[in-house]
Amino acid sequence: MALHHYKKKRDEEGIKDLYTNSISQRQLPKNQLPEKMSDPHVIKQMVADELFMDGNARQNLATFCTTYMEDEVRELMDLSIDKNMIDKDEYPQTAEIEQRCVSILANLWHSPEKNDTIGCSTTGSSEAAMLGGLALKWQWRKRLEAEGKPTNKPNFVCGPVQICWHKFARYFDVEIREIPITADALGMQADQLKNYCDENTIGVVVTLGSTFTGIYEPVEKIAKALDSIQNETGWDIPIHVDGASGGFIAPFIHKDLKWDFCIPRVKSINASGHKFGMAPLGVGWVIWRTVADLPKELIFNVDYLGGELPTFALNFSRPAGQIIAQYYNFLRLGREGYTAIQKDCASTAQYLGEQLKTIDLLEILYDGHGGIPTVCYSLKDEKKAGFSLYDLSDRLRMHGWQIASYPLPSNRENTTVQRILIRHGVSRDMIYLLLRDLRKELEYLKCNPGLNNSEKISFHH
């Protein structure tokens, strides 16, 4: 562009207010790449404005994921925006930080090889579950091949699991045997196992912090039941603990609970760094009890300072910032900080549970005691109430609150429940305000029955 042209353009556009710029007077391109470049300030503002249409993350009480973080975390994320986790040779210090996080978790979860066991970061618990599941499948296959048995029908046994385990089953061709819950339980019970396990069971997946209700499944009892099964049949069935939430809660506020590598049958554990690990979105962890529990065939080596470093992952390139922020949280909070935050979250959840118990219409299924900091409830009698919890979700949405309504898992799927997650940054005062709105909307729905027939759109995670 000739200089005088450029100057003319600047005179025309440069002094304009952002919203009188010609771009802001038009619809933004929605499906096609625009032909020309545009002013970064204007475009940034347009995109940022569009994001206002999203719900407010801090009022999203359906998610387990981090929605509050310190400025220091944002700064570290910014600092590491250009680092690729897979380039261990180029970013050796980042690679070391990942290893430190693995050791910290191996220690926290009582691995007998605390400092030397194997584990890795992932994009979340879903990828971690795939890796944990694959390790079980490979170990099982080696076992059966050694006995000269067929290996074409692997299965795994679990209670009501998060969707990632259904994905694992389908993507990696393993039958999922999801045990239906009994009328008086919210998760898998130890005495149900014997009807579901056989010699093709690659493992039992136990959930510490059910996505549906927040309860912990009883890892220790399940391990004992598997001991008995082994005594009777010879099948040595390992446990993988899906501690997506609980892995970062139980070590701090349920110290007497036996659920981790202190139980020899527990061979691997996953957890979401971006849930109660309080890291920003995009990090999970999976740790094996010992090096021997991860089959060597699944490990690939990448260059690392002239040597080689073992990696096990579904992705190749991956952002490193979340892992660095995880390490920051570990150092910043320590045991003291994690304990204080998880305790506060639990006591806020329990307070909310107490308050909801005083509302006649509601039946509390989980009141925040003994599992993760959440409450789960249903309507005592939907017919009599004249509205559903989906209607209540809709009404609360008008105040900005996002609260999940969904059916309970198999066998109790006729019960609709709601779940409210308390995480770091959900203060007691926010819950006072929520309760105010919730009481008001229940009154409204009581006085206006029949008006409400909300679509059953569930948005639980």
Ligand X SMILES: *Cc1c(COP(=O)(O)O)cnc(C)c1O
Among 69, 136, 164, 365, binds ligand X (CB under 6 A): 164
CB of 401 to ligand X, least distance (A): 20
> What does the alpha-carbon distance between residue 293 and residue 238 come to, in Å, rounded to a whole number?
10
Number of residues that bind ligand X (CB under 6 A): 15
Contacting residue, 59, 125, 200, 322, with ligand X by CB under 6 A: 125
Q: Name the minimum Å distance from CB 164 to ligand X.
A: 5
> Smaller CB distance to ligand X: residue 60 or 125?
125
Q: Check residue 121 for interaction with ligand X (CB under 6 A).
A: no
Count CB-CB contacts under 10 A for residue 222.
27
Q: Which stretch binds ligand X (CB under 6 A): 166-174, 242-250, 294-302, 359-367?
A: 242-250
SS3 assignment, position 342: helix
Q: Contact 243/270 with Cβ under 8 angstroms?
A: yes
**CA distance linking residue 217 with residue 211, whole number of Å:** 11
CB of 426 to ligand X, least distance (A): 17
User: Rg of the Cα trace of the chain?
Assistant: 25
Distance (Å) of CA 76 to CA 73, 81, 324: 5, 9, 7
CB of 127 to ligand X, least distance (A): 7
User: Segment near ligand X (CB under 6 A), from 123-131, 194-202, 292-300, 409-417?
Assistant: 123-131
Q: What are the tokens at 441? A: 């909307």
Count other Cβ atoms within 10 Å, centred on residue 370: 13
When the beta carbons of 352 and 372 are compared against ligand X, the nearer one is 372
Residue 442 binds ligand X, judged by CB under 6 A:
no
Strand partners, 269: 241, 287
Residue sitting closest to ligand X (CB) = 124
- Give the shortest CB-211-to-ligand X separation in angstroms: 4
Out of 21, 61, 64, 135, name the contact with ligand X by CB under 6 A. Answer: 64
Q: What are the residues facing 215 on neighbouring strands? A: none
Exposure of 138 by Cβ count < 10 A (0-12 exposed, 13-18 middle, 19+ buried)? middle
For ligand X, the closer of residues 77 and 283 by Cβ is 283
Residues 275-334 that bind ligand X (CB under 6 A): 284
- Is residue 272 near ligand X by the rule CB under 6 A? yes
How many other β-carbons are positioned within 10 Å of the β-carbon of residue 361? Answer: 18
CB crowding 256-295: b at 16 or more within 10 Å, else e: ebebbbebebbbbbbbbbbbbbbbbbbbbbbbbbeeebbb
Q: Does 207 bind ligand X (CB under 6 A)?
A: yes
By CB under 6 A, which span of 13-21, 122-130, 181-189, 221-229 interacts with ligand X? 122-130
Residue of 80, 139, 162, 213 that binds ligand X (CB under 6 A): 162
Percent helix, percent strand, percent coil in the chain, to nearest 5: 45, 15, 40
Q: Decide if residue 251 touches ligand X (CB under 6 A).
A: no
Residue 284 or 409 having the CB closest to ligand X: 284
Looking at beta carbons only, is 202 or 208 nearer to ligand X? 208
Closest distance between ligand X and the C-beta of residue 290, in Å? Answer: 23
Tokens of 426: 């959900």
Taking contact as CB under 6 A, which single stretch among the options 175-183, 241-249, 333-341, 350-358 is the one that binds ligand X? 241-249
Q: Do 69 and 307 form a contact (C-beta atoms < 8 A)?
A: no
- HSE, side-chain direction, 13 A CA sphere, residue 460: 23
| In the complex, least distance from residue 233 CB atom to ligand X, rounded to whole angstroms | 29
139 touches 122 (CB < 8 A): no
Binding residue for ligand X, selected from 60, 111, 245, 326, defined by CB under 6 A = 245
Contact call for residue 141 and ligand X (CB under 6 A): no
Question: Is 170 or 380 the residue whose CB approaches ligand X more closely?
Answer: 170
Those residues whose C-beta lies under 8 Å from the C-beta of residue 209, and which sit 6 or more positions away, are: 215, 216, 243, 244, 245, 246, 247, 249, 371, 372
Give the dihedral of Cα atoms 310, 312, 313, 315; nearest 10 deg.
Answer: 40
- Name the DSSP class of 241: E
CB of 284 or CB of 319, closer to ligand X: 284
Q: How far is the CB of 342 from ligand X (least distance, A)?
A: 15
Interaction of residue 211 with ligand X, rule CB under 6 A: yes
Among 119, 124, 187, 247, binds ligand X (CB under 6 A): 124
Residue 37 buriedness (CB in 10 A; 0-12 / 13-18 / 19+): exposed
If the CB atoms of residues 119 and 284 are measured against ligand X, the closer one turns out to be: 284
For residue 301, the minimal CB distance to ligand X (Å) is 26
Kind of pairing, strands 307-311 and 362-366? unpaired
Sheet holding 404-407, edge to edge: 362-366, 374-379, 416-421, 404-407
Residue 64 or residue 330: which is nearer to ligand X going by CB? 64
The answer to the question of residue 126 lying near ligand X (CB under 6 A) is yes
Give bridge partners of residue 308 from the DSSP assignment. Answer: 303
**Distance in angstroms (rounded) separating the CA atoms of residues 131 and 271:** 12
The least distance separating ligand X from the CB of residue 204, rounded to whole angstroms, comes to: 15
Binding site for ligand X (CB under 6 A): 64, 124-126, 162, 164, 207, 209, 211, 242, 244-245, 272, 284, 461
